[in-house]
Structure 1
């Protein structure tokens, strides 16, 4: 369902002494194979790499993810990857739980290229993952993030207050829904319920400080109304988070225009 073939990346990969894009299969802590792409900054050498966490049913080759990567690459190096159960990655989606391990593997890989700063930005489900990852990977580990931005992220689990979220819950929780997810949406979903229930995004936020945090949300988001970003911002320690409420914006990477992507990149590089 991508408008850009994986082969275009494979043809562009050149020897390690040059600075072309590189595609790699990463192995997570729990043994899942994750496809990832590293792209150098188009403006020259940079000390920052931005790791992009896509939304549910996305992948490294989706047009909206590629568009975000191109915008971010004007300011920094970029790592994109497909969460488990998405694209060419292995495993099955746990819809925000063990995906933290996928992000940790991508962040650690970004540091292999010598970047002194690695920052994360996530959209929708990816937004919840970057929040939980930042809360769980502090200190000086290779998987830490130096700044985090969550776009269109939920604040709490099991939200069914909008029609799109009720449809999503049907896809995730019902056998027929998971078949639709697999063959209609290209997403393989784990059939088991969470056990235990993972730390929620809003519970994660207070644990992120002192890492800089940005919360971005559209005022026309059909999935999560504005109480979600406001709840996330209110949970942050005083003075440690910014909240951008974007007029006219819908949901996640598909709704993020080039102007917003540029501002996001500027914030991530500056922090």
Structure 2
């Protein structure tokens, strides 16, 4: 699946103040139309909500085959909205968004557009929270879209390694949450991941993805291979990183979150959740509330 240059992108122009939920379309740097929804914080002023849009916004990145309107995504957004404003969106190839899924590669452009939109609305602090595939995307985004130094120099390191330039500082995340994220690409160590690879790599599998899972998948292989999540985790600091994983995750065993935490070192906090399965479908309200509380704490 082919990578593209992460330069400037076009996003929807919206009013700086809106009284309630707002649905719009964003345009990524490579011209893909992405559906997105903004929901203001539902907490009262005494709980820290700021009607002028200058409080924290959480940008929620769903897992593979998810979308902005899937029940699990809406449930997570509703819990998060009790602590902060929330931006949800459908990755390319999912839901009402255009394009085709590249299963974690070009999706970093989709996330960057959503983060920049939150900042256009006036939010001074933006936290990305990704689940499964979305978890790998927020990790790569955190490494590639770093806050620019005071001298205005372009970010290096991971950006240069992927041959990408122009990652704008207004698209950076102030903190990152990765839930049920893989540490490395091409993992086939569990039955669910072997089935997923069949869906992604085989013509019949992609047909099942399109008509059965409502996900349009790009047929091209990655070229070049994107920065692995485990390497990205070590490049996110000084932004805080929270890694959340269930001990009953059927997709990725516990060596994945532990590898991510080891790579990030002191820059990461690791929560291993007893009895939890995989991603947004398995995250209960108590866990989602804890994540939101972590996200809104500078």
Range into which the TM-score falls when normalised by the shorter chain: over 0.9
TM-score by length of 1: 0.93
**Does residue 261 of structure 2 align to residue 253 of structure 1?**
no
Q: Which residue of 1 aligns with 2:172?
A: 144
Q: Deviations for 1:183-226, whole angstroms, at most 9, x for unmatched residues?
A: 00000000000000000100101110100000000000000000
What SS does the aligned partner of 1:207 have? coil
> Where does 1:166-177 land on structure 2 (aligned, <5 Å)?
166-177=194-205
> Where does 1:25-40 land on structure 2 (aligned, <5 Å)?
25-40=25-40
What SS does the aligned partner of 1:199 have? coil
> Where does 1:1-271 land on structure 2 (aligned, <5 Å)?
17-43=17-43, 44-45=49-50, 47-140=55-148, 141-237=169-265, 239-271=266-298
Q: Relative contact order, CA 8 A, sep 6+: which one is greater? A: 2
Give the Cα separation in 1 of the matches to 2:178 and 2:17: 34
Give the Cα separation in 2 of the matches to 1:164 and 1:18: 42
CA apart distance, 1:139: 1.5
What SS does the aligned partner of 2:234 have? helix
What SS does the aligned partner of 1:259 have? helix
Give the Cα separation in 1 of the matches to 2:253 and 2:18: 45
C-alpha RMSD of the superposition: 1.0
CA apart distance, 1:16: 7.1
CA apart distance, 1:19: 1.6
CA apart distance, 1:108: 0.2
Instruction: Structure 2: give runs of 5+ residues left out of the alignment.
Output: 1-14, 44-48, 149-168
What SS does the aligned partner of 2:65 have? coil
Change (3 A) 1:204 1:16: closer
Give the Cα separation in 1 of the matches to 2:147 and 2:181: 24
Please tell me whether the aligned partners of residues 16 and 122 of structure 2 are also in contact (alpha carbons under 8 angstroms). Answer: no
CA apart distance, 1:103: 0.1
What SS does the aligned partner of 1:185 have? coil
What SS does the aligned partner of 2:192 have? helix
Give the Cα separation in 1 of the matches to 2:283 and 2:137: 18
Q: Which residue of 2 aligns with 1:11?
A: none
Give the Cα separation in 2 of the matches to 1:82 and 1:18: 21
Give the Cα separation in 2 of the matches to 1:48 and 1:110: 9
Query: Number of residues paired by the alignment?
Result: 256
TM-score by length of 2: 0.84
Q: Deviations for 1:18-51, whole angstroms, at most 9, x for unmatched residues?
A: 4210001000011100000000000131610000
Instruction: Structure 1: give runs of 5+ residues left out of the alignment.
Output: 1-14
